[in-house]
Amino acid sequence: MGWEVQKTAEFVAKNSNEVRIDREALVRFAHNLFAEDPNVPPWNRVYHFCGKPEDMVSYLLVLDSINFCFWPEPGRKKWELVYNSQRLFGYYAMAASIKKALEEGVPIINARYLAEVSLSELKQILDGKGELQLLEERRTILNQLGQVLLDDYKGSACNFVEDSRNSAVRLVQLLSEKLGSYRDIAEYSGQKVFFYKRAQILVADLYGALGGGGLGSFIDIDMLSCFADYKLPQVLRQLGILCYTQSLAKKVDQRVLLEAGCPEEVEIRAGTIWAVELIRKELKRIGVDLRAFEIDWILWNMGQHKEFKVKPYHRTLTLFY
């Protein structure tokens, strides 16, 4: 079990200076989860586009290519969208924005359109209230995605996914090789650390949306780690599983920007991955066989509740999460 993501996360977690994992809190959480008979959250079909499988694959590739950084600059309002009379924030707002565009006839999943989409067109698609950072970068990412699909895959997202030959690991590696914004790799103490957050989440989304069949079928889906973002460590910290030094806690709580790739940021993300891996192992030991990405889904859904927002999440301006 495990590949380079878990292995390098373990290395960082065992050498961290600013972040540690509280094993007692971790075991307590695993046993509480076991007592509650955990249900893996089902795929959300309200805010995600659902249609022909090939269109869903294209939709998810677009969505996960720009699925990052939903928090605003200090003093600005969080980006939000009203969809079907519901106020949505963050990821669900992004999912619904692209779904809404498709419903209105915008060819946002067409490779040629993606290769040429302008900033003003993207702003219309992501029209809402508040601030969504890195819009220019999102446009560039979509342009690159469209061009890669045209150049290498006859304009087809399905051809891209089929190139993985039903391997989750191979699809993650293809995304990282072909599209720079998926190349989520850092360095720590002279060693490369692999996160691949958005690449891995695309694999899991394909699996969830397509019910583990067709292009959502992966022979090595168990190899995925959790997806190291800013919401999961917030939840793990509230649970007492991730513990920060006083200096790091102060930075996070005061919303001080952590530079992408700095030791503190790498330790938070790697600690998150390794903590979830330890939760997975403890659950398995007591009779619950959940995969890391399923534990991720449980924790992420917990993070939508106010009791897990007592302390802020760390802030890093990045394309990776």
Residue positions annotated with a catalytic role:
229
Backbone angles phi, psi at 180, to 5 degrees: -60, -30
Residue type, 300: W
Q: Nearest to residue 315, comparing CAs of 68, 15, 93, 77?
A: 68
Q: Nearest to residue 3, comparing CAs of 203, 216, 189?
A: 203
Q: 81: helix, coil or strand? A: strand
Helix axes 53-65, 197-209, angle to 10 degrees: 160
Q: 21: helix, coil or strand? A: strand
Q: 100: helix, coil or strand? A: helix
Distance, CA of 310 to CA of 308 (rounded, Å) = 6
Distance, CA of 281 to CA of 292 (rounded, Å) = 9
Q: 129: helix, coil or strand? A: strand
**On the CB side of 75, how many CA atoms lie within 13 Å of its CA?**
0
